[in-house]
Amino acid sequence: MNNGQGKNGQRFPALYVRDFRLFWFGQIISLSGTWMHSVAQSWLVYSLTKSPLYLGIVASLSSLPILLFTLFGGMIADRYPKRNILIITQIMSVIPALIIAVLADAKIIAVWHVGITAFFLGTVNAFDVPARQAFLAEVVGRADITNAIALNSAAFNGARIIGPVIAGFIIAGIGIPACFYLNAVSFVPVIFALSKIKAKGSVKAYQTGVFAGIADGWGFVKKEKPVMHIMSLISVFSLFGIPYITLLPVLAGEILVVGAKGLSFLVASAGAGSLLAAMMIAVRGEIEKKEIYMPLSAVIFSISIMGISFSENFYVSLIFIFFAGWGIVSFLAVSNSFIQHAVPDFLRGRVMSLYTFVFLGFAPVGNSIIGIAADFFGTIISLKFFALMCILGSIIFAKKFRSSRVEELRS
């Protein structure tokens, strides 16, 4: 274990890279705004409809474009300068925030407005996320990629604490539109940071057609069995585990009866657990026994979702959600690092788009399933069933990933 220290003994080596440091600090502000937007959007939809079905539909519209377009986003990331792609996507992300802010402020907002802007933002993210994932490796290099991924996750989940808590107080004190206005402004620092970054991201010219290029990325995943097993479990979590977030407004409003402020603390609790996981990995620098750490974190996430389904106490729910956040980020951060180390540079954008595809692209299906199931069978029964699916998936993964790692080390 290197205790998070780089080759020159730095504690967080990725932060010693100027370009990464600029990007990282810009993201903290931008992501805080994004989480404010997310909480405000959920509460807005719930306030307009009082329906878990509509929460599921809007969440699905947010992530459906990733299912449709992210593989093409990976192709774009391998063909064009990634920094330029990210500047464009950040500028485009301002538009839906402003539209919702103005409509909500004018009190003419309807749920279909939210759905359309959510779909637009999801389309932007389909090109943003693969470019962002691949850009990290080029900014810091392979040696510090685990530290960069962990710090990036820490920024995301630190914002996941700050943003929702601020959103809860703003919604209660000023109103929902203010959250969307602030989110629009929050993109300015990261756009400025990207404009000052020297690294644009390497571009490799190749003659492969669009679908053949996507097939090349898929061929790599199929050949690398540990990567295939990781992608499979991420698919299960995206379909049955991660969508539990969609039901938090229902839990806050009907089961725990804690309102918008309570919802903000539930979301922030997941963020606190996620931040702890990210910082633990950032400090350690590298997780050596991945065949133990990854299955363990997957099981903790799955059992925590089951715990949420049984809890009727706000504070107990906060604890279970905290551990759910710790488990999913521990698994995803180490999985991301594992894949980034395994993939060759010329395939990085396409393979990371496949990672995004199963991680975020399957979310609309999962959100739709959980929204429909909660509407027909009840929120708690649906949550228990989905948690059981995650537990079974984690057990199967533990066995297959360990055996594939043993085979890999032998060969």
Tokens 């756009």 sit on residue: 191
> Does residue 276 fall inside a structural domain?
yes
> Does residue 3 fall inside a structural domain?
no
Phi and psi angles of residue 199, each rounded to the nearest 5 degrees, phi first = -70, 125
Six token digits for residue 133: 């994932």
> Does residue 201 fall inside a structural domain?
no
Q: From its phi and psi, is residue 173 left (phi > 0), alpha (psi between -120 and 50) or beta?
A: alpha
Do the Cβ atoms of 364 and 63 come closer than 8 Å? yes
Its pTM stands at 0.73
Residues in the chain with pLDDT < 70? 1-10, 199-213, 285, 405-411
**Nearest-angstrom CA–CA distance, 98 and 106:** 12
How many domains would you assign to the chain? 1
CATH code of 357's domain: 1.20.1250.20
> Does residue 371 fall inside a structural domain?
yes
At residue 55's C-alpha, the angle toward residues 129 and 322, to 5°, is: 65
Do the Cβ atoms of 190 and 26 come closer than 8 Å? yes
> Does residue 33 fall inside a structural domain?
yes
pLDDT of residue 327: 95
pLDDT of residue 232: 93
* DSSP symbols for 373-397: HHHHH-HHHHHHHHHHHHHHHHHHH
Domain that holds residue 322: 13-194+208-410
pLDDT of residue 409: 58
Q: Cβ-count burial of 322 within 10 angstroms (0-12 exposed, 13-18 middle, 19+ buried)? A: buried
> Does residue 295 fall inside a structural domain?
yes
> Does residue 8 fall inside a structural domain?
no
Do the Cβ atoms of 267 and 162 come closer than 8 Å? no
pLDDT of residue 204: 56
pLDDT tens digits, one per residue of 189-225: 999 999 888 765 555 545 555 566 677 778 888 888 8
pLDDT of residue 302: 96
